[in-house]
Structure 1
Amino acid sequence: MSDATDDVLATDVAAVARIDAVPAILDVVCRTTGMGFAAVARVTEDRWIACSVRDDIGFGLKPGSELKIETTICNEIRDSRVPVVIDNVAEDPLFCRHHTPSLYKFQSYISVPVMLPDGSFFGTLCAIDPRPMRLNTPEVTGMFQLFADLIAFHLDALRRLDTSEADLLDERQSSGLREQFVAVLGHDLRNPLASIAAASRMLLRMALPDEAQPLIGMIQSSVSRMSGMIDNVTDFARGRLGGGLVLQPQEAAPVRAMLEQVIAELRSAHPDRDIESDLDAVGALRCDPGRIGQLLSNLLANALTHGAPDSPVRVQGRMDGAFFELSVANAGEPIPPAVMRELFRPFFRAGTKQAGQGLGLGLYIADEIARAHGGTLGAVSSLAETRFTFRMPAG
């Protein structure tokens, strides 16, 4: 095997490790089915590599471990692209004499191919157990297929983002390549993301163990975060490629209700963080309430990412004469002056350990929303706090 091929496979294994939802998926799989081992595997013509593993039965595999490809059923799934579901090997006419179950001593087995959007085969989402299990039901097979699609979606998104970042590092590439990328990204990801959101809502209505509910909530939080990223890149592409930022202003918009909804959503997504709000002085405002909510969401997400985790994030809104003012403040290390000058530039990220979670468009889009409303967005940072303030005419 060439070093280049090894590097590609190592990159694929690492990509699965970057998907926060995968451990939760494997946990839900095991808890829902009762099976003791579940994994995401990278499968090629001559390699079977574990990318992520949940092992409660001492099967012995860890991320990066390999099995001989010819000893696995996944080898056959790679060729057929069809899931394999076995409730009880001893009673299964197709697999009762198959070498794999006897070699690895399992009685129940399910494996679903992970197919990337371009039609290529990545690997499998699989589970085994030494006991017979009832797996061949629409609920179980549907859940596995949805989770396999979710993993494929994330892998494709990571590949797109990695490709984009590599291109952006090359100063010889024109900015048009970047803008084409974000336009395609925002457009192509909305439909699969909507499918994943619908699937998670369907899972919540199923009879799952109580422990599975917060795990599905984690998936929904990831969907919400990615939805916000798609909104940002779509707005960026529209602004750069000719459409401009679209507003739908209302004469007396219910701004406070929108702001409270955004804060509630962020509190739900970050139950371990304290978000304080003071919106009593906020009245009706001539604006696009959805865009004002998006502005707050971006500022609040930024504060939660970069603020001190043991200190509250504070949101305050008020009418100041002829102006409306909205601020978001957090404790933490002050922003250096050199960084302050670049905060509202697209694709700028401050370089903190958590900055890789976004594309660097949140503050840029918030600033564009402020400008579209005839307002301003500014920031001040000191040892005491970092505060972003949006100010616009109230009439």
Structure 2
Amino acid sequence: MVLVVEDDVATNEVICLALGRDYQVVSAFDGADGLSKALELSPDLIVTDLTMPGVSGDELVRAVRAMHALDAVPIVILTGTLDDRERDLLLRDGAQDYLTKPFSIDELRSRVGSQLARRRAEQRSHALRVELDGARRASQAEQRVRVWLESVIEQLPDAVVLTDADGRVTLRSRAATAMSAGEEAVVLRDCTGDPIPFPDLPAVRALCERRAVAKRELRVRAEDGRLVPVLAGAVPVLSAAGDVLGSATVIEDITAIKELERVREEWASIVAHDLRQPVTAIVLAADRLVRGNQPLPTGRQQEAATRIGAAARRLNLMIGDLLDATCIESGRLCIQRRVGSLRRIITDVATDVGEAAPCCILDLDDGADEPLLIDAGRITQVLTNLVTNAAKYGDPNRPIRVTTRRHQSCVEVAVSNHGSELSDDDRVRVFDRFARGVATGSPHGLGLGLFICRGLVEGHGGKIWVECQGGQTHFHFTLPTETPHATATNATGPAASGIGSFARKEAPLAAV
């Protein structure tokens, strides 16, 4: 569209007729009317006379250039007289070309055609720049998404392998690289160690069947030659149109799960074996009581009843240990705290286990009388376990020593015995479930005692550890002296910080 602004009616008509053969033409007869129609119609080019009443041509040029919507519209000036200075001003104000009256129709059409061609070229160039900018921004956004996705995949704990539609690997995570053990790809194997046939690989099946392949248990060979158990599955990557773009394979190392299964099976075996012993003793003693037509002598009856009672108590202790271990693991072990001191607890434990530990030396400082907020029953359970363990695994001809020491923020208790020191491996696992050492006799129990001790001490906010030196074994635990805000807590989380070394000092000794 060409807007012609000319106040002379005859000239306006001539220009409109000359340009109307090739373009849509709209006319205006003064500057104000021309500006109004330019705003309304947004023409592709404006042809305007310079000298007009009201708004002149040069004022129209400046007004059009001041408007953002029209600042790119080319303007051709028509003038009767134009010196160099006026021409420079018009061109500087925003006019693209000018014609001096009188002018030929052919020259007018040529100038208008040239400006419109230039205008179309600029529009195409602008559109191309916009398109290129959009494509560049889209490419940058796609690159950012790809980098983000690669970073996520790279840091996933499971191995992830991406392929294209032809099965070529395009990306694999750090875990997948580690799992490949130096090979170009992760080699999936069956439980015997033989590689999975190519058609049965999860990625190949996902590409061919165009559906998710459920995880199944397989193996990969580690760098040290071990067969590592894994779960491997794959899904096809589909476009919006349903075309297969590639596949994603996820391989999960289930070594820890397998270890849990092994521990569970071991636990079931240990529980079944150790619980069978007191049950068998109860059954045999009960059979003796009811066997035969003649009743057993009173002495034999009392002996059988005593064995039944002892076996039942042992069975009850095992069941209690199992319940405590379960509560500790689930964070539901209740610690009912009351204000108390350790001296009475230690003295009672030493007296009660006198048969198992005939000589128990108590080396108690004023920390034994420190008022603590503790569960006396649970601390008694801890000390009983430590003292009986010292008697069971220590030198039966040497005394057991129970010591207390007062520190700034806690009271430390140590149970020491002479005998074979724990190995480095035993010191690491001594507080684990079902950990049992080699006793001088035939030990009873499930191997949960020290595991429960750790849970009880940590439930009080203390710490428990073992040290071996000079042919002696020292089990230490601490109880905080700060008064907790609550009167009952659950045994959860790691222990509070305690004393890492045991400082001995002279104190009165007592033998029980």
TM-score range, shorter chain: 0.3 to 0.5
TM-score, normalization: structure 2? 0.35
Structure of higher RCO (CA pairs closer than 8 Å, 6+ residues apart): 1
* Structure of higher CA gyration radius: 2
TM value normalised by structure 1: 0.44
